[in-house]
Amino acid sequence: MNDVEKPASGKPKTDGTLLEKIRDNLLLLVFSGLFAAIVKQVYDRIAGGLLSQPWHVIWFLLPLAAAAWLAWLMVRGRPEIRLRGWFGAFFVLYVVAFSLAAGSSLLDWKRTPVGFEGQGPRNFLALSWLEDWHYWLAGRAAPPANDIVVVTRDDPAGRTLADARMDVVRLIGLATANQARAVVLDLYFDEQEPTSIDALLCSAIEQAEKANVPVVAAYQFDRMQDRLVRKLPPPTLRACLTPDRQGHAIGFREPDLVVRLIPVYFQNDPTLPALALQAARRLASRDRQPAPSVPDDDLLQFLPPGHAFTRVRLEDLFSAREPAEVLRDRVIVAGTLSNADRVATPFGVLPGVVAQATGLYAIRTGHFVRRKPWWASFFVILVVCYVLTTEAAAGAGIRRLVRTAALMSALVVVALVVTMYGWLVWLDAIYPLVAIWLLVALLPPGWRAIRERLRGNPRRTRPAPPK
């Protein structure tokens, strides 16, 4: 006869069983985190070399999804739910797959450097526009950009290269004479043909530098054997347009033809900084301020200022009686207005020079979007999936499960709104929301409800109360 200790009520103690369940669940949750960290680490290492586009994460997601599906097939007919065995494997794979998708920016699908591979067709698989509502929450607290002036010139088509460069010489001279803070040129000087103006241009740049007016110019790239190679200025300008006075003017155009990101370092190369970053660095050095901060992932998701930049036409500036009113203590960002240099952004179509000014403003003020680390998405998805699973394990029916899913969805959206509005931290909504509602359909109550509806079984109705 087994000696079993019983309480006064006569029922056996269940504390040990409860402790075992809690222990098993904690072990599973810890294992989920470790497995997610390992998968993300492996993905990051491979993505740095072979996987250059967000959609390449599919090669990781497909095996995870297939394994999760096989595990679900093993448990779908079981009425009970236990976070162990096949269902535990399904839970871990399900959470890790959604977390990896969220951490890899899968919605962006493909990022094309602006100016290469043409405009490109729209791609229906690019769903990044679904998250653009975040920008509505970011513009309310934007700091002003009073010291940035955008100077535009008309398209110099039909003019000689020497005449076009002479405009730049005059602009730099005006900025130096009127004590501007810096001159940022969203203009390319990579034509290999030297001009008679090059000596004057270098002289103007050196005089500006001596007057503590840093000059920073843009450069572009050439495609050579499937590689993008930086184009150098002509030999006559290399003495004054040194690497520390240049930055790339590339932005990533996504398949919906919208530019949302500027790579702080092109192709993750610290020797290829963005024009906005190089200008911000030189301004900080000029003013003896700390170096500007950059996003952790080296992708600048820029935000516009609270008020539009002051804009002046170059021709009007040359004819102005008092150019000092426009130039003194201002950062001059100059570029060309042309139909070919217009950029679609989440806040409208902008001339390329205005987009570059926006990037400079974002880095200098710190008013840019902070993307969450991968573990933030993992934690959110893990919590919501665990709550739903424990509800179903406790015997919840489909209606209660749907109510819980709706509550969790509302909490996720509120959290995303608060983090974006308060701290400019971007948390994607679509991944946890899809994870929530897909899990509702896969858990036994949801699966049984779907199966009954597909078979055409009528809903069970409560019996009428006796008269």
Average the pLDDT over 76-97 and give the result. 77
Note whether 380 and 326 are same-domain residues.
Answer: no
Most confident of 13-17, 106-110, 284-288, 423-427: 284-288
79 Cβ neighbours under 8 A, 6+ residues apart: 444
pLDDT tens-digit series, residues 186-225: 999 987 678 899 999 999 999 999 999 999 999 988 877 7
> pLDDT value at position 163?
93
With 60 as the cut, is the pLDDT of residue 6 above it?
no
Q: What percentage of the chain has pLDDT greater than the value 70?
A: 81
CB neighbours of 230 closer than 8 A, spacing ≥ 6?
219, 221, 222, 248, 272
In a shared domain, residues 25 and 97: yes
81 or 243, which is more confident?
243
Residue 118 counted as domain residue = no
Residue type, 433: L
Which is more confidently placed, 123 or 320? 320
Write down the pLDDT at residue 18. 45
Q: Are residues 105 and 148 in the same domain?
A: no
Kindly report the pTM of this predicted structure: 0.79
Helix (H) or strand (E) holding 26: helix 15-47
Amino acid in the structure at residue 63: P
CA-to-CA distance for 40 and 60, rounded, in angstroms? 10
The residue range of the domain holding 412 is 16-110+371-450
Mean pLDDT of the chain: 82
The residue-averaged pLDDT of 342-371 equals 93
- N-terminal to C-terminal alpha carbon distance within the chain: 52
* In a domain? residue 236: yes
85 and 55 both lie in a single domain: yes
Q: Helix, strand, or coil here: 234?
A: coil
pLDDT(256) > 60: yes
Would you say residue 396 lies in a domain? yes
Average pLDDT value for residue range 329-352: 92
**Close Cβ partners of 301 (under 8 Å, ≥ 6 residues apart):** 260, 261, 295, 368, 369, 371, 426
In a domain, 455, yes or no: no
> pLDDT, tens digit, for every residue of 297-320?
888 999 999 888 999 999 999 999
- Regarding whether 212 and 76 lie in a shared domain, the answer is no
pLDDT attached to residue 106: 61
- CA dihedral angle for residue 282, residue 288, residue 293, residue 298, rounded to 10 degrees: 30
User: Among 323, 341, 366, which residue terminates a domain?
Assistant: 366
Q: Which residues contact 441 (CB under 8 A, 6 or more apart)?
A: 447, 450
Contact 359, 335 (CB under 8 A): no
- Given 315, 336, 366, which residue is the final one in a domain? 366
- Please give the average per-residue pLDDT across 85-109, as a whole number: 78
Asked whether residue 9 is domain-assigned, the answer is: no
**Which of 168, 200, 198 lies closest to 186 in space, CA to CA?**
168
Is the residue at 43 inside a domain?
yes
What are 363-384's pLDDT values in tens digits? 999 999 988 777 888 899 988 9
For 379-412, the pLDDT digits (tens) are 999 889 988 888 888 788 899 999 999 999 999 9
Is there a domain that residue 457 lies in?
A: no
Distance of CA 51 to the CA centre of its chain: 17
Give the span between the Cα atoms of 59 and 70, in whole angstroms.
18
Q: Of all residues in the chain, what percent carry a pLDDT higher than 90?
A: 40
* More reliable by pLDDT, 11 or 451: 451
Specify the residue for token string 């602009």.
171
Residues 204 and 63 in one domain: no
Which domain-ending residue is among 366, 397, 432? Answer: 366
One domain for residues 102 and 174 = no
Tokens representing residue 88 in the block: 């535990």
Report the alpha-carbon distance of residue 391 to residue 39 in Å, rounded: 28
Question: For residue 147, what pLDDT band results from cuts at 50, 70 and 90?
Answer: very high
Question: For 53-62, how does the pLDDT look when each residue is reduced to its tens digit (9 = 90+)?
Answer: 555 566 667 7
Cβ distance 333 to 356 under 8 Å? Answer: yes
When divided into structural domains, the chain yields a total of 2
Give the residues across from 151 on adjacent strands. Answer: 312, 334
Contact 278, 216 (CB under 8 A): yes
pLDDT digits (tens, 9 = 90+) for 24-54: 677 777 878 888 888 777 767 766 554 455 5
268 pLDDT higher than 90: no
